[in-house]
Amino acid sequence: MTDRAAVPATGRGLRWRARGRTLAVTAASMLLALLVGALLMIVSDPEVADKFRYFFGRPGDALSASWAKVSTTYWALLVGAVGSPTALAGTAGQAAPLICAGLGVGLAFRAGLFNIGAQGQAIWGAIFAAWVGFALHLPPVVHVVVAVLAGLVGGGLWGWIVGFLKAKTGANEVIVTIMMNYIASQSLAWLLLTPAFLRPGRIDPIAPPIDATAMFASLYGQFHVGFLLAVAAAAGVWWLLDRSTVGFAIRAVGANPHAAATAGMSVGRTTMITMTVAGLLAGLAGVQYALGPGADGVPTPLSLGLVGTVGFDAITVALLGRSRPLGIVFAGLLFGGLHSGGLAMQTFAGTPLTLSQVLQALIVLFVAAPDLVRTVLPFLRAPKQAVVGGAA
């Protein structure tokens, strides 16, 4: 009689075990990043490092100073990210554009495409949304809706160009998207010097402020309607991928484009749809910056650095979230918390703000190298399946 314990799990059981191991590796990646970050704090702090010179004589001094430095820094980071309603609002405000752009990158990943152009798509989303915000004077609600739709069109159009070139000419989407990032940034620089975008009475490249009717309603501080849009976008991407025929085609093309073509799917059409939707999502990230309230409660006017590096940060968010909508939401919140809490870390613990960026890089490094994590922590390795066979 066959031993039931020796029979390998199948179907849903295997999927849940695989997801559990993936979550464990992700959590271990964060833990390792925090440990490496702690070592960097100890080494880079002159007062703490000085106590290690007489470590063997008085080890307690070095250990207590190290613990005080690390615990104070991480506590300040935690409090600055989630320690109060204001901190939570700041984290949500920072996370909203990261979630939107991360969804654009992650969706392309699911189709086997590398969307490195989320930065340019976010720039065009911000341009379109900001222009509607200050150039058109519409009634409340209508104004913000039109501005959001304009931003989606701007980002989606920029993504569609990449999909069209990929589908019709076979152009490498990595090279095309990188070059289009430069085109987008330089186009913004040019537009800000034209009468249509330059603020009257100014010679520096900055656009007029948007009308109050185009601004996202603030629910609490930096927690605004834009965050709810980001969560809704994540739900929409989940439905698209898991509940629609278009999503099935995207996943099929991403898994094996040749097999998908053999099955009668249009790889070129799927590529264009994917890049258009990815651009639309990244454009929504630009809309968040153009219409969302800043730290002072009003949107920041369109300028050269308005969207920051959200398109490149989105790559790390998509990687950490494993290109899954729910994972991207949590990854965006994590990085939003690191951004928001980094200021408190610098103010209350005297630790440079750049450490939060180092932590992000370390997390992504370990997440992108799961074999390294499993080597450091062997208990995370998948158990070998027992071979079941042989005649009774």
Written as one string, the DSSP assignment of 87-112 is: HHHHHHHHHHHHHHHHHHHHHHHHTT
Residues 106 and 184: beta-carbon distance below 8 Å: no
User: Residue 360: is its pLDDT beyond 80?
Assistant: no
**Total Cβ atoms within 10 A of residue 13:** 10
| Residue 269 confidence (pLDDT) | 95
| Residue 385 confidence (pLDDT) | 54
User: Residue 6: is its pLDDT beyond 50?
Assistant: no
Worst-scoring range by mean pLDDT, 33-42, 107-116, 222-231, 250-259?
Answer: 33-42
Grade residue 2 by pLDDT with cuts at 50, 70 and 90. very low
Residues 381 and 56: beta-carbon distance below 8 Å: no
Residues 253 and 232: beta-carbon distance below 8 Å: no
User: Residue 132: is its pLDDT beyond 50?
Assistant: yes
Average pLDDT, the chain: 88
- Label residue 204 exposed, middle or buried (CB < 10 Å: 0-12, 13-18, 19+): exposed
Give me Rg for the CA atoms of the chain: 24
DSSP type of residue 194? S
Quick one: which of 269, 234, 277, 236 has its CA closest to 253? 269
User: Residue 33: is its pLDDT beyond 50?
Assistant: yes
> What Å distances lie between residue 354 and 25, 35, 346, CA to CA?
25, 16, 9
CA-CA distance, 189 to 205, in Å (whole number)? 7
pLDDT tens string 155-211: 999 999 999 999 999 999 999 999 999 999 999 999 999 999 999 988 889 999 999
Residues 87 and 79: beta-carbon distance below 8 Å: yes
**Total Cβ atoms within 10 A of residue 185:** 16
pLDDT tens string 316-338: 899 888 899 999 999 999 999 98
| Residue 5 confidence (pLDDT) | 45
| Residue 10 confidence (pLDDT) | 58
User: Residue 149: is its pLDDT beyond 70?
Assistant: yes
DSSP type of residue 10? -
Helix, strand, or coil here: 218? strand
Residue found by looking up tokens 């031993």 in the block: 3
| Residue 58 confidence (pLDDT) | 83
Quick one: which of 91, 118, 132, 162 has its CA closest to 310? 118
Task: At 163, list the tokens.
Answer: 């999909």
The domains found in the chain, sorted by start residue, are: 15-82+351-381 (no CATH), 89-333 (1.10.3470)
pLDDT tens string 44-98: 888 888 888 888 888 888 889 899 889 988 898 898 888 889 899 999 999 999 9
Work out the percent of the chain whose per-residue pLDDT is above 90. Answer: 56
CA-CA distance, 117 to 105, in Å (whole number)? 9
| Residue 155 confidence (pLDDT) | 97
38 phi and psi angles, rounded to 5 deg: -65, -40
Sign of the C-alpha dihedral, residues 321, 322, 325, 326? negative
| Residue 384 confidence (pLDDT) | 60
User: Residue 390: is its pLDDT beyond 60?
Assistant: no
Instruction: Give Cα 316 to chain centroid, integer Å.
Output: 6
Paired residues of 224 in beta bridges: 218
Angle in degrees, CA 200, 214, 229, rounded to 5:
135
- Label residue 154 exposed, middle or buried (CB < 10 Å: 0-12, 13-18, 19+): buried
Task: At 239, list the tokens.
Answer: 């439905």
Grade residue 229 by pLDDT with cuts at 50, 70 and 90. very high
Q: What is the mean pLDDT of residues 300-312?
A: 92
Residue found by looking up tokens 């409340």 in the block: 140
